[in-house]
Structure 1
Amino acid sequence: MKKVLLGLLVFQLVTFTANAQIQKGSVLLGGSINFANSNNDQQRTSDLGSDRNTTSNEFSFDPKIGVALENNWVIGAMVIFKTGKSIMDATTYSSTNSSKEKLTNEQNAFGVGLFARKYFPFGDKFSAFGELNSGSLWNKNSSIYEYNNGTPAESENKYTEYQTNLLAGIAYFPKNWMAIELSTNLVTFTSSNQETNTIDYSNNSFDFGLNTSAISLGVSSFLNNK
């Protein structure tokens, strides 16, 4: 009985796959957005120590255009916009007095890249997909540090970042020409070289993005897809 049910399931998926395809020659117009917010509040447990609160938020938008070179294979170009802000407030207590400090960081980035996406239909309205994209981002970071309400110390840093992402997602097709997508980064590789007046350093990192802050919501339309 189990074998019969498994055979029927496979037959159903194969049948659905034939009906849910991105056809060769279709043009993809779409994009995705991501918003993440966090708040970390640390309270001292004795008369000494520090109270510290850190809040941060990030927003990104990635419009894309591509073409299906083969059924369910799309390659194209993308533009990347990112912005974020974090604020750290801390009060440190000693046996004689207390001190306050505040650090505000703002980041803005613009970039361009290329992507390749493969769709894996599993129903008449659903498809899983995997995507590999890579591009360059031009970043600008601004920081303001305040200590005991004194004169703020400001700094600015500009640098170029190279980023490659492997992501996976699922798409729902209410119409053959439109998809609502939910995706998450699986692996991100980042390489950057930063220079300031006092330091010059390079950074290479791998991130495994299986968390809510790595989830993006997107919408795509497919011109000429029947």
Structure 2
Amino acid sequence: MKKMLVVAALAICSFASAQKGTILVGGNIGFTSETTDYSSSEVKTNEFSFSPKVGYQFNDNWTIGGEFTVNSAKDNTGSVETKDNGFKFGAFARYAVPLSQTFAVYADMGAGFQNAKTKVYGPGNAYAKYKADGMYVGITPALFINMKNSFGLNFSIGGLGYETLSYDNNGPDVNSFFFNFGKTVNIGISKNF
């Protein structure tokens, strides 16, 4: 499937390149699905995220801007269902290295604030709700393919990051470090103006 996406993208590529002094507008859509088998039950997790970005490309390699992410996740464990919704907003810096007029690799380094809300539904209509605030920092390497009319496709398969969440009402403080290469797939589109 991944090979078919790359071949399809290559078939419609033309020679366009981002230039110094342009505005970058783009975003990614991400989906993660995981199934874990325990001895007594199976846990299914699905997560969807949408991440728009706007930045200014001040030279041929560097772009700085703002980012926003909305995500939603759902876990099913037997008779317990957990729904998580969250958002992040912050700033990013992108360093891009062109490999040719068609391809480039880049790394996005982002940091900012985040918010999370969790709802847990149990047997017998049991219900619990939790809220948390925190911060995040991360780096995501990706492949960029230049398309017609300054449009581009972005592909990434994970990243490296650190997040904190502090839950309300004397809830726990959660610190997470993640290295999720190969566990997520993000496909995005961007345009330079």
TM-score if structure 2 supplies the norm length?
0.86
Confirm or deny that 1:113 pairs with 2:104.
no
Name 1:145's counterpart in structure 2. 122
Name 1:104's counterpart in structure 2. 81
Q: Which moved more, 1:61-70 or 1:175-184?
A: 175-184
The structure whose Rg is larger is 1
CA distance in 1 between counterparts of 2:117 and 2:171 reads 16
Give CA deviations for 1:52-106 in whole Å, capped at 9, x if unaligned. 12211000000111111111211111111000101111xxxxxxxxxxxx11100
Q: Please, which of 100, 112, 129 is the counterpart of residue 156 of structure 1?
A: 129
Name 2:178's counterpart in structure 1. 207
Q: Please, which of 40, 55, 65 is the counterpart of residue 44 of structure 2?
A: 55
CA contact (8 A) 1:23 1:72 kept: no
CA distance in 1 between counterparts of 2:33 and 2:73 reads 10
Give CA deviations for 1:163-205 in whole Å, capped at 9, x if unaligned. 1111101111123611101023331101111133xx4322222
- Offset at residue 153 of structure 1 (A): 1.8
TM-score if structure 1 supplies the norm length?
0.74
Aligned length, in residue pairs: 179
The gaps in structure 2 that reach 5 residues or longer are 1-14
- Offset at residue 206 of structure 1 (A): 1.2
CA distance in 2 between counterparts of 1:152 and 1:160 reads 27
Q: Alignment RMSD, CA only?
A: 1.7
Name 2:8's counterpart in structure 1. none
Give CA deviations for 1:10-41 in whole Å, capped at 9, x if unaligned. xxxxxxxxx87531111111100101112234
Name 2:143's counterpart in structure 1. 170
Aligned-residue sequence identity (percent) comes to 25
CA distance in 1 between counterparts of 2:133 and 2:97 reads 34
Name 2:192's counterpart in structure 1. 222
- Offset at residue 212 of structure 1 (A): 2.7
Name 1:195's counterpart in structure 2. 168
Name 1:92's counterpart in structure 2. none
CA contact (8 A) 2:16 2:147 kept: no
Name 1:30's counterpart in structure 2. 26
Task: Specify the code of the residue in structure 1 equivalent to 2:126.
Answer: A
Task: Specify the code of the residue in structure 2 equivalent to 1:25.
Answer: G
CA distance in 2 between counterparts of 1:107 and 1:137 reads 13
The gaps in structure 1 that reach 5 residues or longer are 1-18, 44-49, 90-101
- Offset at residue 220 of structure 1 (A): 0.3
